[in-house]
Chain A
Amino acid sequence: MVIEFQHLTKRYARHRPAVDDLTCTVAEGRVTGLVGPNGAGKSTVLRTLLGLHRPTAGRALIRGRGYAELRAPQREVGAVLDAGARTAHPGRRVRDHLRWLARAGGLPASRVPAVLAAVDLDGERRAGALSLGMTARLALAAALLGDPAVLVLDEPSNGLDPAGAHWLRGTLRTLAAEGRTVLVSSHAMGELARTADHLLVIAGGRLRADAPVADLAPDGDPETLEAAFLRLTEAR
Protein backbone atom coordinates (compact mmCIF):
# COMPACT_ATOMS: atom_id res chain seq x y z
CA MET A 1 0.00 0.00 0.00
CA VAL A 2 1.25 3.46 -0.84
CA ILE A 3 -0.14 5.28 2.18
CA GLU A 4 -0.72 3.61 5.53
CA PHE A 5 -2.18 4.91 8.74
CA GLN A 6 -1.36 2.70 11.72
CA HIS A 7 -3.34 3.44 14.89
CA LEU A 8 -2.88 7.15 14.21
CA THR A 9 -3.96 9.30 17.14
CA LYS A 10 -3.58 13.06 17.49
CA ARG A 11 -4.68 14.89 20.60
CA TYR A 12 -4.21 18.63 20.94
CA ALA A 13 -3.67 19.95 24.46
CA ARG A 14 -6.64 19.29 26.75
CA HIS A 15 -8.99 18.40 23.94
CA ARG A 16 -10.53 15.09 22.97
CA PRO A 17 -8.55 13.40 20.20
CA ALA A 18 -8.91 15.06 16.81
CA VAL A 19 -7.92 11.72 15.30
CA ASP A 20 -8.56 8.58 17.29
CA ASP A 21 -6.83 5.28 16.48
CA LEU A 22 -7.14 5.56 12.69
CA THR A 23 -5.97 2.50 10.77
CA CYS A 24 -6.44 2.27 7.01
CA THR A 25 -4.55 2.27 3.73
CA VAL A 26 -4.67 4.11 0.42
CA ALA A 27 -3.97 2.28 -2.85
CA GLU A 28 -2.40 3.59 -6.04
CA GLY A 29 -4.01 4.22 -9.38
CA ARG A 30 -7.24 5.59 -8.01
CA VAL A 31 -8.73 8.61 -6.33
CA THR A 32 -9.40 8.01 -2.66
CA GLY A 33 -11.69 10.48 -0.96
CA LEU A 34 -11.25 11.34 2.71
CA VAL A 35 -14.67 12.61 3.63
CA GLY A 36 -16.29 13.75 6.82
CA PRO A 37 -18.18 16.68 8.31
CA ASN A 38 -16.37 19.86 9.38
CA GLY A 39 -14.18 19.12 12.39
CA ALA A 40 -14.07 15.38 11.64
CA GLY A 41 -10.27 15.37 11.68
CA LYS A 42 -9.56 15.32 7.92
CA SER A 43 -7.00 18.12 7.95
CA THR A 44 -5.33 16.66 11.04
CA VAL A 45 -4.98 13.28 9.30
CA LEU A 46 -3.42 14.87 6.21
CA ARG A 47 -1.17 17.31 8.12
CA THR A 48 0.15 14.42 10.22
CA LEU A 49 0.76 12.39 7.06
CA LEU A 50 2.76 15.34 5.66
CA GLY A 51 4.88 15.74 8.80
CA LEU A 52 3.43 19.15 9.67
CA HIS A 53 1.78 17.84 12.83
CA ARG A 54 3.38 15.34 15.16
CA PRO A 55 1.19 12.31 15.99
CA THR A 56 0.36 11.67 19.65
CA ALA A 57 0.47 7.93 18.91
CA GLY A 58 0.64 5.65 15.90
CA ARG A 59 2.17 6.35 12.50
CA ALA A 60 1.37 7.70 9.07
CA LEU A 61 3.58 6.25 6.34
CA ILE A 62 4.22 6.84 2.65
CA ARG A 63 5.74 3.78 0.99
CA GLY A 64 6.77 2.57 4.43
CA ARG A 65 8.42 5.79 5.53
CA GLY A 66 7.42 8.90 7.43
CA TYR A 67 7.26 12.08 5.33
CA ALA A 68 10.33 13.57 7.01
CA GLU A 69 12.35 10.47 6.02
CA LEU A 70 11.64 10.88 2.29
CA ARG A 71 14.82 11.67 0.38
CA ALA A 72 13.26 13.98 -2.18
CA PRO A 73 9.81 14.75 -0.78
CA GLN A 74 8.61 16.91 -3.67
CA ARG A 75 9.48 14.20 -6.20
CA GLU A 76 7.58 11.58 -4.20
CA VAL A 77 4.60 13.49 -2.79
CA GLY A 78 2.75 16.56 -4.00
CA ALA A 79 0.55 18.25 -1.45
CA VAL A 80 -2.13 20.92 -1.31
CA LEU A 81 -2.72 22.23 2.19
CA ASP A 82 -6.25 23.43 2.86
CA ALA A 83 -6.65 25.72 -0.16
CA GLY A 84 -8.33 28.35 2.01
CA ALA A 85 -5.02 28.68 3.88
CA ARG A 86 -2.74 30.25 1.28
CA THR A 87 0.88 29.16 1.28
CA ALA A 88 2.21 31.66 -1.26
CA HIS A 89 3.27 35.05 0.12
CA PRO A 90 0.72 37.59 -1.22
CA GLY A 91 3.50 39.94 -2.35
CA ARG A 92 5.39 37.34 -4.40
CA ARG A 93 4.75 36.64 -8.07
CA VAL A 94 3.29 33.23 -8.89
CA ARG A 95 6.34 32.31 -10.98
CA ASP A 96 8.74 33.28 -8.17
CA HIS A 97 6.79 31.21 -5.64
CA LEU A 98 7.20 28.16 -7.87
CA ARG A 99 10.85 29.04 -8.58
CA TRP A 100 11.90 28.97 -4.93
CA LEU A 101 9.97 25.76 -4.37
CA ALA A 102 11.73 24.14 -7.34
CA ARG A 103 15.11 25.28 -6.00
CA ALA A 104 14.39 23.96 -2.50
CA GLY A 105 13.66 20.54 -3.98
CA GLY A 106 16.56 20.55 -6.42
CA LEU A 107 14.05 20.36 -9.29
CA PRO A 108 14.89 21.66 -12.78
CA ALA A 109 13.74 25.24 -13.44
CA SER A 110 11.91 23.98 -16.54
CA ARG A 111 9.27 22.45 -14.26
CA VAL A 112 7.96 25.94 -13.43
CA PRO A 113 6.58 26.82 -16.89
CA ALA A 114 5.46 23.19 -17.27
CA VAL A 115 3.19 23.25 -14.20
CA LEU A 116 2.00 26.80 -14.95
CA ALA A 117 0.82 25.51 -18.32
CA ALA A 118 -0.72 22.41 -16.73
CA VAL A 119 -2.95 24.49 -14.45
CA ASP A 120 -3.38 27.36 -16.96
CA LEU A 121 -2.13 30.15 -14.69
CA ASP A 122 -0.38 33.48 -15.38
CA GLY A 123 3.03 33.46 -13.66
CA GLU A 124 3.40 37.23 -13.57
CA ARG A 125 0.49 37.86 -11.19
CA ARG A 126 1.23 38.42 -7.52
CA ALA A 127 -0.19 35.64 -5.36
CA GLY A 128 -2.19 38.13 -3.29
CA ALA A 129 -4.03 39.30 -6.41
CA LEU A 130 -5.33 35.84 -7.32
CA SER A 131 -8.96 34.86 -6.97
CA LEU A 132 -9.79 31.85 -4.79
CA GLY A 133 -10.07 29.70 -7.88
CA MET A 134 -6.64 30.79 -9.16
CA THR A 135 -5.18 30.30 -5.67
CA ALA A 136 -6.40 26.71 -5.84
CA ARG A 137 -4.73 26.32 -9.24
CA LEU A 138 -1.46 27.71 -7.85
CA ALA A 139 -1.63 25.27 -4.94
CA LEU A 140 -2.06 22.37 -7.37
CA ALA A 141 0.79 23.69 -9.56
CA ALA A 142 3.09 23.65 -6.51
CA ALA A 143 2.00 20.08 -5.74
CA LEU A 144 2.79 18.95 -9.30
CA LEU A 145 6.28 20.57 -9.43
CA GLY A 146 8.18 17.40 -8.63
CA ASP A 147 5.97 15.23 -10.90
CA PRO A 148 5.14 13.08 -7.84
CA ALA A 149 3.51 9.64 -7.86
CA VAL A 150 1.52 10.49 -4.73
CA LEU A 151 -0.82 13.46 -4.33
CA VAL A 152 -2.28 14.51 -0.99
CA LEU A 153 -4.84 17.26 -1.34
CA ASP A 154 -6.74 18.90 1.52
CA GLU A 155 -10.02 20.42 0.32
CA PRO A 156 -8.52 21.45 -3.05
CA SER A 157 -11.93 22.45 -4.39
CA ASN A 158 -12.55 25.07 -1.68
CA GLY A 159 -13.55 28.30 -3.36
CA LEU A 160 -13.67 26.90 -6.88
CA ASP A 161 -16.53 27.97 -9.11
CA PRO A 162 -18.40 25.26 -11.07
CA ALA A 163 -16.00 25.52 -14.01
CA GLY A 164 -13.01 25.28 -11.67
CA ALA A 165 -14.53 22.29 -9.85
CA HIS A 166 -15.13 20.59 -13.19
CA TRP A 167 -11.52 21.25 -14.21
CA LEU A 168 -10.23 19.87 -10.86
CA ARG A 169 -12.32 16.67 -11.20
CA GLY A 170 -10.91 16.05 -14.64
CA THR A 171 -7.36 16.74 -13.49
CA LEU A 172 -7.61 14.36 -10.52
CA ARG A 173 -9.15 11.61 -12.70
CA THR A 174 -6.31 12.02 -15.21
CA LEU A 175 -3.63 11.90 -12.49
CA ALA A 176 -5.10 8.68 -11.06
CA ALA A 177 -5.42 7.17 -14.52
CA GLU A 178 -1.68 7.74 -14.96
CA GLY A 179 -1.21 5.34 -12.04
CA ARG A 180 -0.70 7.95 -9.34
CA THR A 181 -2.06 7.71 -5.84
CA VAL A 182 -4.51 10.52 -5.16
CA LEU A 183 -5.81 11.14 -1.62
CA VAL A 184 -8.22 14.05 -1.53
CA SER A 185 -10.29 15.37 1.36
CA SER A 186 -13.65 17.07 1.21
CA HIS A 187 -16.60 17.85 3.41
CA ALA A 188 -18.87 17.73 0.38
CA MET A 189 -19.90 14.18 -0.42
CA GLY A 190 -21.49 15.22 -3.69
CA GLU A 191 -18.16 16.62 -4.86
CA LEU A 192 -16.34 13.35 -4.18
CA ALA A 193 -19.13 11.18 -5.59
CA ARG A 194 -18.08 12.17 -9.09
CA THR A 195 -14.32 12.16 -8.46
CA ALA A 196 -13.41 9.34 -6.10
CA ASP A 197 -13.22 5.59 -6.65
CA HIS A 198 -12.88 4.76 -2.99
CA LEU A 199 -13.97 6.55 0.18
CA LEU A 200 -12.65 6.79 3.70
CA VAL A 201 -15.42 8.26 5.82
CA ILE A 202 -14.39 9.76 9.15
CA ALA A 203 -16.31 11.52 11.87
CA GLY A 204 -15.23 12.51 15.35
CA GLY A 205 -11.70 11.46 14.46
CA ARG A 206 -12.71 7.81 13.89
CA LEU A 207 -12.99 5.76 10.72
CA ARG A 208 -16.65 5.10 9.92
CA ALA A 209 -16.31 3.48 6.51
CA ASP A 210 -13.57 2.28 4.13
CA ALA A 211 -15.32 1.22 0.95
CA PRO A 212 -15.54 1.70 -2.81
CA VAL A 213 -17.98 4.39 -3.90
CA ALA A 214 -19.85 1.64 -5.77
CA ASP A 215 -20.51 -0.19 -2.49
CA LEU A 216 -21.83 2.89 -0.70
CA ALA A 217 -24.09 3.84 -3.59
CA PRO A 218 -24.71 0.75 -5.76
CA ASP A 219 -27.17 2.66 -7.92
CA GLY A 220 -24.60 5.40 -8.56
CA ASP A 221 -27.09 8.00 -7.36
CA PRO A 222 -25.49 10.93 -5.47
CA GLU A 223 -28.65 11.01 -3.30
CA THR A 224 -28.01 7.44 -2.13
CA LEU A 225 -24.39 8.31 -1.39
CA GLU A 226 -25.39 11.39 0.56
CA ALA A 227 -27.87 9.35 2.62
CA ALA A 228 -25.13 6.78 3.33
CA PHE A 229 -22.75 9.58 4.35
CA LEU A 230 -25.26 11.10 6.79
CA ARG A 231 -26.03 7.69 8.28
CA LEU A 232 -22.30 6.90 8.71
CA THR A 233 -21.31 10.22 10.21
CA GLU A 234 -24.18 10.84 12.62
CA ALA A 235 -23.06 11.10 16.24
CA ARG A 236 -22.78 7.80 18.08
Chain B
Amino acid sequence: MTTRDLLAAEWTKAVTLRSTLACAALAPLLAAALGVLLGHEFGGHALRSGPAVDPLFPCLYGLTLAQIPLVALGVLLTGGENRSGTIGAALLATPRRGTLHTAKALAVTAMATPLAAATVAASFLAARAGLGRRAPAWTDPAVPAALAGAVLYLVLICLLGAAAGTLLAGTAAPLGVLLPLLLLGSQGLGNIPGLRAVTQYLPDQTAQPLLHLAGPQSVPNFHRDYGPWTGLGLTAAWTAAALLAARLALRRRDIG
Protein backbone atom coordinates (compact mmCIF):
# COMPACT_ATOMS: atom_id res chain seq x y z
CA MET B 1 0.00 0.00 0.00
CA THR B 2 2.35 2.69 -1.24
CA THR B 3 1.64 6.20 -2.51
CA ARG B 4 2.16 4.78 -5.99
CA ASP B 5 -0.59 2.19 -5.38
CA LEU B 6 -2.95 4.87 -4.12
CA LEU B 7 -2.28 7.12 -7.13
CA ALA B 8 -2.89 4.15 -9.45
CA ALA B 9 -6.18 3.46 -7.65
CA GLU B 10 -7.30 7.09 -7.98
CA TRP B 11 -6.39 7.06 -11.67
CA THR B 12 -8.37 3.85 -12.22
CA LYS B 13 -11.38 5.41 -10.48
CA ALA B 14 -11.17 8.56 -12.60
CA VAL B 15 -10.92 6.81 -15.99
CA THR B 16 -13.61 4.20 -15.33
CA LEU B 17 -16.49 6.68 -14.97
CA ARG B 18 -18.15 8.37 -17.92
CA SER B 19 -18.99 11.45 -15.82
CA THR B 20 -15.38 12.28 -14.97
CA LEU B 21 -14.16 11.53 -18.51
CA ALA B 22 -16.85 13.80 -19.96
CA CYS B 23 -15.88 16.65 -17.63
CA ALA B 24 -12.23 16.21 -18.54
CA ALA B 25 -12.95 16.29 -22.28
CA LEU B 26 -15.30 19.25 -22.02
CA ALA B 27 -12.71 21.71 -20.66
CA PRO B 28 -10.37 21.87 -23.71
CA LEU B 29 -13.31 21.58 -26.15
CA LEU B 30 -15.10 24.50 -24.53
CA ALA B 31 -11.86 26.50 -24.43
CA ALA B 32 -11.26 25.89 -28.14
CA ALA B 33 -14.82 26.81 -29.11
CA LEU B 34 -14.78 30.02 -27.09
CA GLY B 35 -11.30 30.81 -28.38
CA VAL B 36 -12.54 30.64 -31.97
CA LEU B 37 -15.47 32.95 -31.20
CA LEU B 38 -13.41 35.46 -29.22
CA GLY B 39 -10.56 35.43 -31.71
CA HIS B 40 -12.86 36.25 -34.61
CA GLU B 41 -14.74 38.85 -32.61
CA PHE B 42 -11.64 40.69 -31.48
CA GLY B 43 -9.73 40.12 -34.71
CA GLY B 44 -12.57 41.65 -36.70
CA HIS B 45 -14.57 44.74 -36.02
CA ALA B 46 -14.00 45.14 -32.27
CA LEU B 47 -10.43 46.33 -32.59
CA ARG B 48 -10.90 48.33 -35.75
CA SER B 49 -12.86 51.15 -34.14
CA GLY B 50 -12.35 50.92 -30.39
CA PRO B 51 -9.29 51.57 -28.28
CA ALA B 52 -6.36 49.16 -28.26
CA VAL B 53 -7.23 45.97 -26.43
CA ASP B 54 -4.75 43.67 -24.71
CA PRO B 55 -4.42 40.85 -27.31
CA LEU B 56 -4.09 38.28 -24.50
CA PHE B 57 -7.60 39.10 -23.27
CA PRO B 58 -9.45 37.24 -26.07
CA CYS B 59 -6.84 34.47 -25.86
CA LEU B 60 -7.67 33.63 -22.25
CA TYR B 61 -11.14 35.04 -21.62
CA GLY B 62 -12.76 31.73 -22.62
CA LEU B 63 -11.15 30.13 -19.57
CA THR B 64 -13.67 31.88 -17.31
CA LEU B 65 -16.22 29.40 -18.71
CA ALA B 66 -13.88 26.52 -19.57
CA GLN B 67 -12.82 26.36 -15.91
CA ILE B 68 -16.31 25.15 -14.93
CA PRO B 69 -15.86 21.53 -16.11
CA LEU B 70 -12.51 21.44 -14.29
CA VAL B 71 -14.17 22.56 -11.06
CA ALA B 72 -16.89 19.95 -11.61
CA LEU B 73 -14.19 17.32 -12.22
CA GLY B 74 -12.54 18.16 -8.89
CA VAL B 75 -15.90 17.93 -7.11
CA LEU B 76 -16.74 14.59 -8.79
CA LEU B 77 -13.36 13.04 -7.95
CA THR B 78 -13.89 13.63 -4.22
CA GLY B 79 -17.51 14.47 -3.38
CA GLY B 80 -18.75 11.93 -5.91
CA GLU B 81 -17.45 9.21 -3.58
CA ASN B 82 -19.65 10.43 -0.76
CA ARG B 83 -22.67 10.37 -3.03
CA SER B 84 -22.06 6.83 -4.24
CA GLY B 85 -20.84 5.38 -0.93
CA THR B 86 -17.44 4.60 -2.49
CA ILE B 87 -15.81 6.61 0.30
CA GLY B 88 -16.56 3.69 2.64
CA ALA B 89 -14.66 1.26 0.40
CA ALA B 90 -11.83 3.78 -0.04
CA LEU B 91 -11.41 4.14 3.72
CA LEU B 92 -11.49 0.38 4.26
CA ALA B 93 -8.60 0.13 1.79
CA THR B 94 -6.80 3.21 3.17
CA PRO B 95 -7.96 3.75 6.75
CA ARG B 96 -5.41 6.48 7.46
CA ARG B 97 -7.42 9.46 6.43
CA GLY B 98 -4.55 11.90 6.15
CA THR B 99 -2.80 9.47 3.79
CA LEU B 100 -5.95 9.09 1.69
CA HIS B 101 -6.44 12.85 1.53
CA THR B 102 -2.85 13.47 0.47
CA ALA B 103 -3.06 10.78 -2.21
CA LYS B 104 -6.28 12.29 -3.56
CA ALA B 105 -4.81 15.80 -3.69
CA LEU B 106 -1.73 14.47 -5.52
CA ALA B 107 -3.88 12.47 -7.94
CA VAL B 108 -6.12 15.46 -8.72
CA THR B 109 -3.01 17.60 -9.31
CA ALA B 110 -1.49 14.95 -11.59
CA MET B 111 -4.69 14.68 -13.63
CA ALA B 112 -5.46 18.41 -13.70
CA THR B 113 -2.00 19.55 -14.85
CA PRO B 114 -1.98 18.07 -18.39
CA LEU B 115 -5.67 18.84 -18.71
CA ALA B 116 -5.10 22.47 -17.73
CA ALA B 117 -2.19 22.71 -20.19
CA ALA B 118 -4.39 21.33 -22.98
CA THR B 119 -7.22 23.71 -22.08
CA VAL B 120 -4.96 26.77 -22.05
CA ALA B 121 -3.30 25.70 -25.30
CA ALA B 122 -6.70 25.17 -26.95
CA SER B 123 -7.93 28.58 -25.83
CA PHE B 124 -4.75 30.40 -26.89
CA LEU B 125 -4.25 28.70 -30.25
CA ALA B 126 -7.92 28.92 -31.27
CA ALA B 127 -8.13 32.61 -30.40
CA ARG B 128 -4.77 33.34 -31.98
CA ALA B 129 -5.90 31.90 -35.31
CA GLY B 130 -8.92 34.20 -35.32
CA LEU B 131 -7.00 37.29 -34.26
CA GLY B 132 -4.83 37.22 -37.37
CA ARG B 133 -2.35 40.05 -37.42
CA ARG B 134 -3.64 41.30 -34.06
CA ALA B 135 -2.52 38.06 -32.37
CA PRO B 136 0.00 38.45 -29.56
CA ALA B 137 3.56 38.09 -30.80
CA TRP B 138 5.41 34.91 -29.79
CA THR B 139 8.26 37.16 -28.70
CA ASP B 140 6.07 39.13 -26.29
CA PRO B 141 7.44 38.26 -22.81
CA ALA B 142 3.92 38.64 -21.36
CA VAL B 143 2.76 35.56 -23.28
CA PRO B 144 4.68 32.77 -21.49
CA ALA B 145 3.93 34.31 -18.08
CA ALA B 146 0.20 34.56 -18.83
CA LEU B 147 0.03 31.01 -20.23
CA ALA B 148 1.98 29.48 -17.34
CA GLY B 149 -0.16 31.45 -14.90
CA ALA B 150 -3.34 30.23 -16.61
CA VAL B 151 -2.24 26.58 -16.33
CA LEU B 152 -1.39 27.00 -12.65
CA TYR B 153 -4.70 28.77 -12.06
CA LEU B 154 -6.76 25.97 -13.63
CA VAL B 155 -4.94 23.34 -11.56
CA LEU B 156 -5.63 25.37 -8.41
CA ILE B 157 -9.31 25.82 -9.25
CA CYS B 158 -9.70 22.06 -9.92
CA LEU B 159 -8.10 21.38 -6.53
CA LEU B 160 -10.46 23.93 -4.97
CA GLY B 161 -13.36 21.88 -6.37
CA ALA B 162 -11.83 18.69 -4.96
CA ALA B 163 -11.39 20.28 -1.54
CA ALA B 164 -15.00 21.52 -1.56
CA GLY B 165 -16.20 18.04 -2.52
CA THR B 166 -14.44 16.52 0.48
CA LEU B 167 -15.36 19.33 2.85
CA LEU B 168 -19.08 19.28 2.00
CA ALA B 169 -19.16 15.48 1.47
CA GLY B 170 -21.18 15.48 -1.74
CA THR B 171 -21.54 16.97 -5.20
CA ALA B 172 -24.64 19.19 -5.13
CA ALA B 173 -23.60 21.41 -2.22
CA PRO B 174 -20.06 22.22 -3.45
CA LEU B 175 -21.27 22.89 -6.99
CA GLY B 176 -24.05 25.04 -5.56
CA VAL B 177 -21.46 27.14 -3.74
CA LEU B 178 -18.66 27.22 -6.34
CA LEU B 179 -20.56 27.74 -9.59
CA PRO B 180 -22.41 30.91 -8.54
CA LEU B 181 -19.19 32.13 -6.95
CA LEU B 182 -17.16 31.62 -10.14
CA LEU B 183 -19.86 32.79 -12.55
CA LEU B 184 -21.46 35.61 -10.57
CA GLY B 185 -18.18 36.67 -9.02
CA SER B 186 -16.70 37.44 -12.40
CA GLN B 187 -19.67 38.45 -14.45
CA GLY B 188 -21.96 40.04 -11.90
CA LEU B 189 -20.76 41.02 -8.48
CA GLY B 190 -17.31 41.96 -9.74
CA ASN B 191 -18.76 44.78 -11.81
CA ILE B 192 -20.62 46.45 -8.94
CA PRO B 193 -18.29 49.29 -7.90
CA GLY B 194 -19.10 49.24 -4.17
CA LEU B 195 -18.48 45.50 -3.90
CA ARG B 196 -15.25 45.44 -5.90
CA ALA B 197 -13.09 46.17 -2.87
CA VAL B 198 -14.23 42.80 -1.50
CA THR B 199 -15.01 40.74 -4.61
CA GLN B 200 -11.56 41.34 -6.07
CA TYR B 201 -10.34 38.84 -3.47
CA LEU B 202 -12.60 35.96 -4.63
CA PRO B 203 -10.48 32.96 -5.75
CA ASP B 204 -11.05 33.43 -9.47
CA GLN B 205 -10.78 37.22 -9.41
CA THR B 206 -7.34 37.13 -7.83
CA ALA B 207 -5.92 35.31 -10.86
CA GLN B 208 -7.33 37.75 -13.42
CA PRO B 209 -4.46 40.30 -13.55
CA LEU B 210 -1.99 37.51 -14.40
CA LEU B 211 -4.35 36.16 -17.06
CA HIS B 212 -4.83 39.65 -18.58
CA LEU B 213 -8.54 39.51 -17.79
CA ALA B 214 -8.68 42.34 -15.25
CA GLY B 215 -8.42 45.18 -17.75
CA PRO B 216 -5.60 47.75 -17.94
CA GLN B 217 -4.30 48.17 -14.41
CA SER B 218 -3.35 51.81 -15.04
CA VAL B 219 -7.05 52.69 -15.37
CA PRO B 220 -8.53 53.37 -11.88
CA ASN B 221 -11.79 51.55 -12.65
CA PHE B 222 -9.92 48.32 -13.33
CA HIS B 223 -7.22 48.63 -10.71
CA ARG B 224 -6.62 45.73 -8.34
CA ASP B 225 -4.92 46.06 -4.98
CA TYR B 226 -2.42 43.29 -5.82
CA GLY B 227 -0.02 42.43 -8.61
CA PRO B 228 -0.35 39.53 -11.08
CA TRP B 229 1.74 36.92 -9.25
CA THR B 230 0.60 38.05 -5.81
CA GLY B 231 -2.91 37.54 -7.15
CA LEU B 232 -2.18 33.96 -8.17
CA GLY B 233 -0.64 33.49 -4.72
CA LEU B 234 -3.98 34.56 -3.26
CA THR B 235 -5.78 31.93 -5.38
CA ALA B 236 -3.29 29.38 -4.10
CA ALA B 237 -4.01 30.52 -0.54
CA TRP B 238 -7.74 29.96 -1.10
CA THR B 239 -7.04 26.43 -2.38
CA ALA B 240 -4.60 25.66 0.44
CA ALA B 241 -7.11 26.83 3.05
CA ALA B 242 -9.89 24.75 1.47
CA LEU B 243 -7.66 21.65 1.33
CA LEU B 244 -6.70 22.10 4.98
CA ALA B 245 -10.34 22.48 6.03
CA ALA B 246 -11.24 19.39 3.96
CA ARG B 247 -8.44 17.39 5.59
CA LEU B 248 -9.56 18.32 9.10
CA ALA B 249 -13.20 17.52 8.25
CA LEU B 250 -12.28 14.14 6.75
CA ARG B 251 -10.21 13.20 9.80
CA ARG B 252 -13.04 13.90 12.23
CA ARG B 253 -16.00 12.59 10.27
CA ASP B 254 -17.93 9.37 10.92
CA ILE B 255 -18.50 7.69 7.56
CA GLY B 256 -21.85 6.12 6.70
Contact = CB atoms under 8 A, between A and B. Distances in A.
Interface of A: 12, 47, 50-54, 67-68, 70-74, 77, 79, 81-82, 85-93, 96-97, 99-101, 103-106, 142
B93 A104 contact: yes
B84 A52 contact: no
A53 B251 CA distance: 10
B95 A47 contact: no
B12 interface: yes
Contacts, number: 100
Contacts of B9: 100-101, 103-104
- Specify the main secondary structure of chain B where it touches its partner: helix
A91 B18 contact: yes
Nearest to B7: A103
Interface string B1-45: 110011011101100111100000000000000000000000000
A79 B92 contact: yes
Contacts of B81: 89
B255 A105 contact: no
Contact of A104 (B16, B94, B252): B94
A88 B84 contact: yes
Contacts of B140: none
B133 interface: no
A47 B252 CA distance: 14
B165 to A, nearest CB: 14
A160 B223 CA distance: 66
B88 A101 contact: no
Nearest to B92: A79
- Specify the main secondary structure of chain A where it touches its partner: loop
23 contacts: A12-B254, A50-B92, A52-B256, A53-B254, A53-B255, A67-B95, A68-B95, A68-B97, A70-B95, A73-B1, A73-B92, A73-B94, A81-B89, A85-B256, A86-B84, A87-B85, A89-B80, A90-B84, A100-B16, A103-B9, A104-B1, A106-B1, A106-B2
A106 B5 contact: yes
Interface of B: 1-2, 5-6, 8-10, 12-13, 16-19, 80-81, 84-86, 88-97, 252, 254-256
A141 to B, nearest CB: 12
A71 B94 CA distance: 10
A193 B116 CA distance: 58
B1 A89 contact: no
A52 B254 contact: yes
Contacts of A90: 84
A103 B8 contact: yes
Contacts of B94: 73, 104
Contacts of A105: 1, 5, 93
Given A72-B1, A104-B93, A92 B254 contact: no
Contacts of B8: 103
A96 B16 contact: yes
A223 B89 CA distance: 37
A51 B1 contact: no
Contacts of B6: 104
Contacts of B95: 50-51, 67-68, 70, 73
Contacts of A77: 92
Given A52-B254, A53-B255, A104-B94, A89 B17 contact: yes
B22 to A, nearest CB: 11
A51 B91 contact: yes
The 9 closest A-B pairs by CB, nearest first: A104-B9, A96-B16, A104-B93, A100-B12, A103-B9, A68-B95, A89-B84, A87-B89, A53-B254
